[in-house]
Structure 1
């Protein structure tokens, strides 16, 4: 308004200033009384000081103003000038409704396109995520003992791969527990067979002696053998339980006369040679060592029993030199092996499996080999300190 007043005083001559006129959007006059009525009614006394802007808005507390009136006095070299202006809301035009309709149509079109784009992206994303999940579900249902040993397939997402690995590990743990139970049952049935046979044969012998009324010393010897066999079954059960459920628990060790133990086990297995043209050669040297007795009996007993049981003719050689034990026996030919299947019917492979496992647990070195029709077994005992 000040700029308008200065321009007005420079452009409009003194004679032309008497009448009020509109200049640059403002009503300008040299007398306040010459301004339009809206200014005079809004400010009856007019602006008093120069360059002091006065404003009046026609509005209520909760509505926009209908009009705003501005008024100001500006002193120039040729006298004061009075300026006023009234601002009102723009009147409705015929252009605005059409523009508004076009704007609404454009907004609606853009909204539909955006919603469609988001829907398509969401569907593609859901499909991209659901396909690996469906693949994971199908893989989980197809798991078996063979697939548990295979690597986990790639399901495109780290989280799904981790979940698949957790599922495989969990099922592997369950399968290992089942395998341990099955191995325990096989081992127990295989190892307890010998002491049970001893008990049954000695019971029959005791019955015959009772009928003939033999000497009491013979009956006591039979009872002692039955007692040892029952204790052997107990120790075997405890060892197999330790082997399957508590592999980290150490077994109690004791000093053992190794040659005496070998000869005792060989004597217990002689019933396996009954009716066979088989001879035995047992060569030992004095040697004492500290070992867990029950696993030692199981390992050495298994090896001697396997040699006796699967030898049909010839000589079984058991040789002991300090902590090294060698067992050699003629084995069945491939034709006999294929026709009789001794590993399935007699538990030959199971005994060797148990021997290998126990040897690894207690730190013994065990090797088995076959040259032609001769089977060799070497055991190196690791004495406990």
Structure 2
């Protein structure tokens, strides 16, 4: 049987609970401290009185040894140890022989009550005189005699203390409430901001949430969503690139399949059938390699690791690859008055084959796609390939957002050459564009 999940408490309730506990502890501690200093102050006041009276008697005694002993309602004086009351000698035995002034006090508690309460307080000062005798000054306070007065004092103390304590608690409570309101407002703001984040507005500047910690959380949240946006962007790029790059081999497969159907109906076209089968096989292999390369482009790890895992350097005939790509993309020139000029010199180069084919395929397809009437010139010499299209048609082409060519195709070319560190230029030319790729600067 699963346990019921405990509902998390709110921050406001938690802070108020802690605040109440702390306030109660402070009030109790402050009460104890006040009580301590109150008792200590009373003791000091009694000792001050006894000390002044003792010093005065010592001066008078030095002038006249027959000076009368102080004896009144507040204290009593004694000139020798044996004359002291028995209870004083029992509790202050250390005062029998002193070399300098000493003072102490004691409280006597009742033993017949449930709560122990002091019944009597005794204060004693012992002061040596000039003739070697010791003067004792004793004050006894019978607490029972002051019971009514004490109760009145305690009552007044409670009447004063508890309102102060209540005011303190209220002030602390409202202060915490104001603090919570001040601090929780940015929390609510950051919650609303996170909820409003989308892939469209995530790159906007992070708002200022007043506190450094909250702003740092917002920045981290923004970075996390940006990483997610980048991942989604890579997936979308992969789908777009895959759709874009597979169009040509799919078109080749489709057209050659139709051609094969017509050819196989006649036994006299065996050579044409074999050529169509070769094109289909080449197109299928291109689709496989294209998919591998697009997956490779979407990976995060290093090129060297990618090369070892998915792609390998091979020696290729660059002229043969260009001829095959021209043949595969020839369907784009149907019903167009476009002349193809090939200026190729025998070139064998060791390179990553599929990225190289993707680049050349895009450049050749772009040139064919965006030439309505004119000439396409393709040059190859020692790993340097130049593809130039010259369009003499009066119509203009939209190069900004088309699925072919200058939109998606050349972005893919840019990504590949940047990752492979190949030298690449694509510039406007008379009536078209001129693209140059140097495969000799490969990694």
TM-score, length basis structure 2? 0.69
Partners of 2:202 and 2:87 in 1: CA distance: 97
Q: Does 1:253 align with 2:313?
A: yes
On the 8 A contact 2:426/2:433 being kept in 1, the answer is yes
What is aligned with 1:350? 408
Q: Does 1:120 align with 2:174?
A: yes
In structure 1, stretches of 5+ residues that fail to align are none
Within 5 A, what are the aligned runs for 1:1-385? 11=64, 22=71, 25-26=75-76, 39=85, 64-66=118-120, 87-90=140-143, 91-92=145-146, 99-245=153-299, 248=302, 249-250=306-307, 251-331=311-391, 336-337=396-397, 343-344=401-402, 346=404, 348-371=406-429, 373-384=431-442
In structure 2, stretches of 5+ residues that fail to align are 1-49
CA RMSD across the alignment: 4.1
On the 8 A contact 1:253/1:384 being kept in 2, the answer is no
On the 8 A contact 2:75/2:137 being kept in 1, the answer is no
On the 8 A contact 2:244/2:403 being kept in 1, the answer is no
Change in Cα spacing, 1:25 to 1:297, as seen in structure 2 (3 Å) is closer
Q: Shift of the alpha carbon at 1:185?
A: 1.0
Q: Which has the larger radius of gyration?
A: 1
Partners of 1:97 and 1:332 in 2: CA distance: 116
Q: Shift of the alpha carbon at 1:109?
A: 3.5
Q: Shift of the alpha carbon at 1:311?
A: 0.6
SS class of match (1:327): strand
Partners of 2:400 and 2:374 in 1: CA distance: 18
Name the count of aligned residue pairs: 366
Partners of 1:57 and 1:194 in 2: CA distance: 108
Q: Shift of the alpha carbon at 1:314?
A: 0.8
Partners of 1:131 and 1:283 in 2: CA distance: 71
SS class of match (2:278): helix
Change in Cα spacing, 1:87 to 1:317, as seen in structure 2 (3 Å) is same
On the 8 A contact 2:423/2:441 being kept in 1, the answer is no
Change in Cα spacing, 1:6 to 1:227, as seen in structure 2 (3 Å) is closer
Q: Shift of the alpha carbon at 1:155?
A: 1.8
